[in-house]
Amino acid sequence: MAVVSKKIPAPDKVAVKTALLSVSDKTGIVELARALADKGVRLLSTGGTHKAIAAAGLAVTDVSDVTGFPEIMDGRVKTLHPKVHGGLLAIRDDAEHQAAMKAHGIEGIDLVVINLYPFEDVRAAGGDYPTTVENIDIGGPAMIRASAKNHAYVTILTDPEDYPALLEQLAADAGQTAYAFRQRMAAKAFARTAAYDAMISNWFAEALSIDTPRHRVIGGVLKEEMRYGENPHQKAAFYVTGERRPGVATASLLQGKQLSYNNINDTDAAYELVAEFLPEKSAACAIIKHANPCGVATGANLLEAYKRALACDSVSAFGGIIALNQTLDAETAEEIIKLFTEVIIAPDVTDEAKAIVARKANLRLLTAGGLPDPRSAGLTAKTVSGGLLVQSRDNGMVEDLELKAVTKRAPTQQELEDMKFAFKVAKHVKSNAVVYAKDGQTAGIGAGQMSRVDSARIAGLKAEEAARALGLVEPLTRGSAVASEAFLPFADGLLSMIAAGATAVIQPGGSMRDQEVIDAANEHNVAMVFTGMRHFRH
């Protein structure tokens, strides 16, 4: 295909004489239309937007009067017409384009204000298949892309937040827009349609159970620019995808300074972990440091859960992230503020607790409005050089697994409960992961080691340190259950766990040396259970 080239320089200033307004979100549209009309701009519009502008007493021409063709098919066809797209795409300084406009009675359109059918909202609300398809906008993206391509002459707005900037441009320059402004709006417009199409394509893949579509696009909307990324020399921003999963992306910041890149990453890890514990069954607290839990516990109430989580590793908890699975109350808030903490996130907070946390002005307090469902489907993504790794969310739950006792001694009921608790936590610990637990409380956590033996040893050492800090005779790992998020490849890891005091082990199984590991467990009268499910986390 030959490349088309039109080497006509774009004018710096373009007067806005005719504007086409067609929006789904009518926020501020009447005020914008009035401001444009006051500047002598001719207004064109469609459907509900036309009605809203006309109801405000403003002169506005229906697009059907321009095209000479009525809206048909329930409004599906209204702007897909040469008299609209010719007015958007014409190169005004090209003689051939000018001649075509004159020959076909096409008038130029200088400003287009469009936002799209609320596909994202319909999808998030769980709309059925026909309703969701019906909310895929066609004419809107076509006009946005046409206007954005021809930004040398046309100004395109896709976001009500840009209305004031447009009016400032027109006021400062006698009703004209600058080329740099039109460029920025065009870039924003193409990003908008790209994100919109990404949402649609991902919905189709989900609806049709296409796990690996030929093209995978993930779009987001800028929520906030960050001061920096993981390190001060890195630039960063936070984008939200539109997924209505309660968490850091949907949370309200009630107090404290802006969340950092690392805060957001750690807070997400903390809240996803604490959501594993149903609030109606028990209160739960997870304390996270550098995306790994340093203490997790359940309790009769949040205060008890927090104290027990803190006891696991009070040193590492300093400057950490605290996630709670129930409404933050005054007693728990009073205890939390005794320790330097970066972030607290909970489904909600009482007024009394909010006032208590306010004593620590820099402590960030987030309410998410609910807990994410650990069983729900979804996608996670990670960039690599030249590519994107996309996978389904790890929504495996130990309660849903058929646990298989593989040793001579079956676990006691208490050991079984501790095993399940430990395995839930291990799912959220960076691999290689080893987690000791006892009575609904982590006793020691070993994370991110190259050797699983080292993870087991580190977890045991952390437990010993915690015991000394609490004045205990022996660490909580004595008589504990221990979880490994992946299979034990050799018996050495198991022997380290036994040396730390574990009496029951839960692991996926599946190693070539499973029998060797089982034999070692039998030799030490340790109960072992296989889950059949691995939880690698890199």
Res 517: pLDDT: 95
Give pLDDT tens digits for 159-205: 999 999 999 999 988 899 999 999 999 999 999 999 999 989 988 99
**Bond prior to 325 in cis (omega within 30° of 0):** no
Sheet containing 283-289: give its strands across: 252-255, 364-367, 341-346, 320-324, 283-289, 292-299
**DSSP H or E segment with residue 391:** strand 387-392
* Rounded Cα–Cα distance for residues 175 and 36 (Å): 9
More confident residue, 226 or 465: 226
Is 290 part of the annotated catalytic residue set?
Answer: yes
Of the candidates 149, 188, 307, 354, the residue annotated as catalytic is: 149
End-to-end CA distance of the chain: 45
State the burial class of residue 293 (Cβ atoms within 10 Å of its Cβ: 0-12, 13-18, 19+).
buried
Least confident interval from 223-227, 235-239, 312-316, 460-464: 460-464
Q: Quick one: DSSP state of residue 400? A: G
Please report where in the chains the tokens 């950092």 appear, as a residue. Answer: 260
Longest dimension (CA), the chain: 95
Taking a C-beta distance cutoff of 8 angstroms, is the pair 93, 108 a contact?
A: no
* Rounded Cα–Cα distance for residues 330 and 386 (Å): 49
Least confident interval from 77-86, 102-111, 269-278: 77-86
80-85 long-range contacts, Cβ below 8 Å, gap at least 24? 80/138, 80/139, 80/142, 82/106, 83/107, 84/20, 84/109, 84/143, 85/142, 85/143, 85/146
Give pLDDT tens digits for 48-99: 899 999 999 999 988 888 877 777 677 677 777 888 888 888 888 888 888 8
Res 173: pLDDT: 86
Of the candidates 39, 188, 290, 354, the residue annotated as catalytic is: 290
Taking a C-beta distance cutoff of 8 angstroms, is the pair 309, 296 a contact?
A: yes
Q: Closest Cα to residue 493, out of 465, 463, 442, 458? A: 458
Mean pLDDT for the chain?
Answer: 91
Rounded to an integer, what is the distance from CA 409 to the centroid of its chain?
44
Res 87: pLDDT: 83
Is 149 part of the annotated catalytic residue set?
Answer: yes
Domains, in order of start, for the chain: 13-207 (3.40.50.1380), 248-367 (3.40.140.20), 400-530 (3.40.140.20)
Measured CA to CA in angstroms, residue 492 lies from 157, 455, 515, 518 at distances of 64, 12, 13, 12
- Indicate the pLDDT class of residue 2, thresholds 50, 70 and 90: low
Reported in sequence order, the residue ranges of 241-282 that DSSP labels E, i.e. its strands, are 252-255
User: Could you tell me where the DSSP H helices lie in 39-155?
Assistant: 47-55, 63-67, 82-89, 95-104, 119-124, 129-134, 139-149
* Rounded Cα–Cα distance for residues 286 and 303 (Å): 12
Res 4: pLDDT: 57
Res 393: pLDDT: 93
Q: Closest Cα to residue 169, out of 157, 178, 156? A: 178
- Indicate the pLDDT class of residue 251, thresholds 50, 70 and 90: very high
* Rounded Cα–Cα distance for residues 476 and 436 (Å): 8
Res 68: pLDDT: 74
Tell me what percent of the residues of the chain surpass a pLDDT of 90. Answer: 70
Q: Tell me which amino acid residue 529 is.
A: V
